[in-house]
Amino acid sequence: MESCNTGNNQEAPPGRVKDANGRWVFAPGVSGNPNGRPKGKTLKEFAREYLMNLPDEEKLEYLSKLPKEIVWKMAEGNPKQDTDVTSDGKSFGIIFANTFNGELSQTTQETRGDNPL
């Protein structure tokens, strides 16, 4: 969210409204980038096209200079990472909300151990 410091009593900049904190922000439905992304290829598109057009010998030479782990990720993608960000199916946001309300659930107590939140 972009904001601009225009003072307290000034008129709203075009397409801006004040948020709850008194900052000027873009009004709903108003873009901060009305012209969109510049035309042309992204760096990713450029690099992909460049590498696709290399002869096989040059591709092999290029790949031989990279770590094998990077080549593997280029071919297969990053491995799936099963990181659990819940506690017995409850999101941390719910656990923290219960903690702030003075209601510390049994699941939260087991998860946190001796360390206070």
Q: Is residue 117 part of a domain?
A: no
Residue 69 sits in the same domain as residue 49 = yes
Q: How far apart are CA 49 and CA 67, in angstroms?
A: 21
Residue 87 sits in the same domain as residue 72 = no
Q: How far apart are CA 64 and CA 43, in angstroms?
A: 22
* Number of separate domains in the chain: 3
Question: What number of other Cβ atoms are within 10 A of residue 6's Cβ?
Answer: 14
Angle at 40 between CA 39 and CA 45, to 5 degrees: 135
Per-residue pLDDT reduced to its tens digit, 34-87: 788 888 999 999 999 999 999 999 999 999 999 999 998 888 888 777 776 666
**pLDDT class of 109 with cuts at 50, 70, 90:** very low
Output the pLDDT for position 30: 81
Residue 5 sits in the same domain as residue 26 = yes
Output the pLDDT for position 101: 53
Contact (Cβ atoms closer than 8 angstroms) between residue 26 and residue 32? yes
Output the pLDDT for position 9: 59
Range of the domain at 88: 82-112
- Short-list 83, 84, 108, CA closest to 98: 108
Beta strand segments in 4-116, E: 16-18, 24-26, 86-87, 90-91
Beta bridge partners of 86: 91
Output the pLDDT for position 34: 79
Residue 31 sits in the same domain as residue 1 = yes
Residue 18 sits in the same domain as residue 51 = no
Output the pLDDT for position 93: 59
Entry pTM = 0.38
Residue type, 13: P
pLDDT at 95 over 60: no
Q: Is residue 33 part of a domain?
A: yes
Q: Is residue 2 part of a domain?
A: yes
Per-residue pLDDT reduced to its tens digit, 10-45: 777 788 888 888 888 888 888 777 788 888 999 999
DSSP summary character for residue 87: E
Residue 9 sits in the same domain as residue 34 = yes
Residue 9 sits in the same domain as residue 35 = yes
Residue 32 sits in the same domain as residue 47 = no
